[in-house]
Amino acid sequence: MKFPKYYKNLSVLFFGKITGRFMKDFQGLKPHLISANIRILLKAWVCIIFMSSFLAYVLSLMAVFVLGILLMLDIVFFVYLLVFVPLLVASFVFLLFYLYPIQKANNIRNSIETNLPFALAHINAIASSGIPPEFVFELLTDFKEYGAISDQAGQIVRNIKTFGMSSVNAINDVAKKTPSDAFREVLTGMSSTIEKGGNLVGYLNEMAEKALFDYKIKREKYLKTLSTYADIYTALLVAAPLMMLAVLGVMNMIGGAVMGLGISELIFLITWAVLPALNIGFLMFIHITYPNI
């Protein structure tokens, strides 16, 4: 998410003094901004949050006002919309901008930890040929299939080539900013090994084996969990609905009502609303609980 310079300047100009009073409440965002590689100061980001929320409130207020007049809405309903819709829109925008750095940092961490075992095996293979560490990371930037790891390697290369840092300092700088604890451990170990003149290839080989072992354990654990989810799905969303529909089918022949609904209406509601909603909810649950493997 990039903002024009004038937008950042206007945000700081209009909301700089106001946000200064609440900076303590936003300090938790600072590490996420760094980890997400969002190159904006915390105060400027907070000003952007307030500015964007204010603009969302004003624009939604104008939109509701114009639509209310054009559609000639009932006065009570119109006032209700004028009060609550802009507040809801502004609150949503505020929450969106507040959570964006956190979500982006989490996405980077997930990408790193998903690809780490394979990237480490690749780094180890490159390093075993005797190539200096800075060139190892430079080669790694060409392999975009490693996701955020390639971007992190690019930051190390940038630190060396653009900012003139040594390999150790460049690696340590990225290690401080990365949102992944596992990758931070690898980078810190690499810089320590390089600085002390240790066996870098041996260290990378050890870390690659450890990362691959952890990957296999996570995968096996998740497959067992998924088997449990499959049993729950079969019981609750396959067998139970079939039995319920069979019972309702018999009741439909007899007649009657359930909670004010006719049996045929209830069958229609379960078939076309309840079951699809439960299946979508189950799929969302599986997606949310999917581990970084």
pLDDT of residue 277: 92
Residue with the two structure tokens 């009073």: 21
Torsional class of 42: left (φ above 0), alpha (ψ -120 to 50), beta (otherwise): alpha
With beta carbons less than 8 A apart as the criterion, state whether 263 and 252 touch: yes
pLDDT of residue 177: 93
Distance CA 210, CA 185 (A): 12
* Local structure of 143: helix, strand or coil: coil
Q: What are phi and psi of 82, to 5 degrees?
A: -60, -35
Residue-wise pLDDT for 137-155, tens only, equals 999 998 888 989 999 999 9
- The most confident of the ranges 169-178, 192-201, 250-259 is 169-178
With beta carbons less than 8 A apart as the criterion, state whether 173 and 159 touch: yes
Q: Would you say residue 179 has pLDDT above 80?
A: yes
Residue-wise pLDDT for 213-266, tens only, equals 988 888 888 888 889 999 999 998 899 988 888 888 888 787 767 666 778 888
Which sequence spans correspond to the domains of the chain?
Answer: 5-107, 110-213, 216-289
Distance CA 31, CA 178 (A): 10
With beta carbons less than 8 A apart as the criterion, state whether 19 and 46 touch: yes
First to last CA, the chain: 27
What pTM value is reported for the model? 0.77
More confident of the two residues 50 and 4 = 50
- pLDDT more than 70, % of the chain: 97
